[in-house]
Amino acid sequence: MMKLVYLDGYTLNSGDLDWASLEELGELKIYERTTPSQVVERSKDAEVVLTNKVPITREIMNKLPNLKHIAVTATGYNIIDLEAAREKGVIVTNVKGYSSYSVAQHTFALLFALTNRVETHDQAVQKGKWQKSKDFTFRETRLVEMYGKTLGLIGLGDIGEKVAEIGLALGMEVNVYRKNPKKTTNLKIHQVSLTDVFSKSDVISLHCPLTSETEGIVNKAHLNIMKETAYIINTGRGALVNEKDLASALKNKKIAGAGLDVLSSEPPTAENPLLNIENCVITPHIAWSLKEARERLMGLIVDNINAYKEGKPINVVN
């Protein structure tokens, strides 16, 4: 029977999903969390190692003679030494597309947290501020309608496409910048330059991969050409943003606000410059993790491992 080990199963299933479909694949051992020093001992007998964020290095592979398949339970696979895996004939697979709807939904949840301030006004009501008002309506902060505003996307993959659709449904104009332009069937999505995205958008949402070219794409130079009423939303990768530059822009009211689900270091340290800024909303990397998305993720992981067992691997990244 094939032996499998899942090194960090907690992120996928904290208790609200059923492991049965994975358990049917073979002899499965699940660990909630694994430190780098524990990987070899826990994986020494496994043919298949499942990991979301636990790195598998060349040194580790050298100590795992039974390893044949690394199943990355996420889209990003930079935690794996792909060159070493190729040399050793270890198949590396990933999963993608499982969280597109969830991330698109959370993108607008962050935006609405900034423009509608539902939580702020709920707290004001609970504190008795509305009750003390002389009027039937009570506004604690500036509120902003999205109709007619310009949504600028950096990246137009599966998630970016869905964010664009929601923006169009709200009556927004949608502009997109991507390094390698490709035609979209939606004629309402306009491809523009990176400068135009930053200078003309009322909302900028990041949906591009993290590369040497996109790292720190939100920086002082680009922030300086944004509208003072504009918002930055990041549900992509934390390192797309130069956090010191963004913190400075927010504190100095260079832009209206930021909604972030990802940071450069997760969990953040207490020194992260974006913490405790009034016009910055931060959620703890949860956009991908809605239950329905994790259920889809579980199914895709099973599909990858079944395809490997049948000798016809899919979603191979190496």
Tell me the catalytic residues. 237, 266, 285
Rounded Cα gap, residues 200 and 150, in angstroms:
7
Rounded Cα gap, residues 279 and 254, in angstroms:
11
Rounded Cα gap, residues 118 and 213, in angstroms:
36
Rounded Cα gap, residues 25 and 3, in angstroms:
9
CB 255 within 8 A of CB 249: yes
Structure tokens at 157: 């993959």
Rounded Cα gap, residues 243 and 265, in angstroms:
11
User: Is 48 strand, coil or helix?
Assistant: strand
Report in angstroms the alpha-carbon separations of 169 from 162, 235, 282, 307. 11, 20, 25, 38
Looking at 116-241, list the stretches that DSSP marks H as alpha helix, in order from N- to C-terminal side. 118-126, 158-169, 194-200, 220-223
For residue 216, the one-letter residue type is G
What kind and span of H or E run contains 193?
none
Rounded Cα gap, residues 239 and 255, in angstroms:
19
CB 294 within 8 A of CB 108: no
User: Is 72 strand, coil or helix?
Assistant: strand
Rounded to the nearest 10°, the torsion over CA 43, 46, 47, 52 is -50
311's CB contacts (< 8 A; 6+ apart) are none
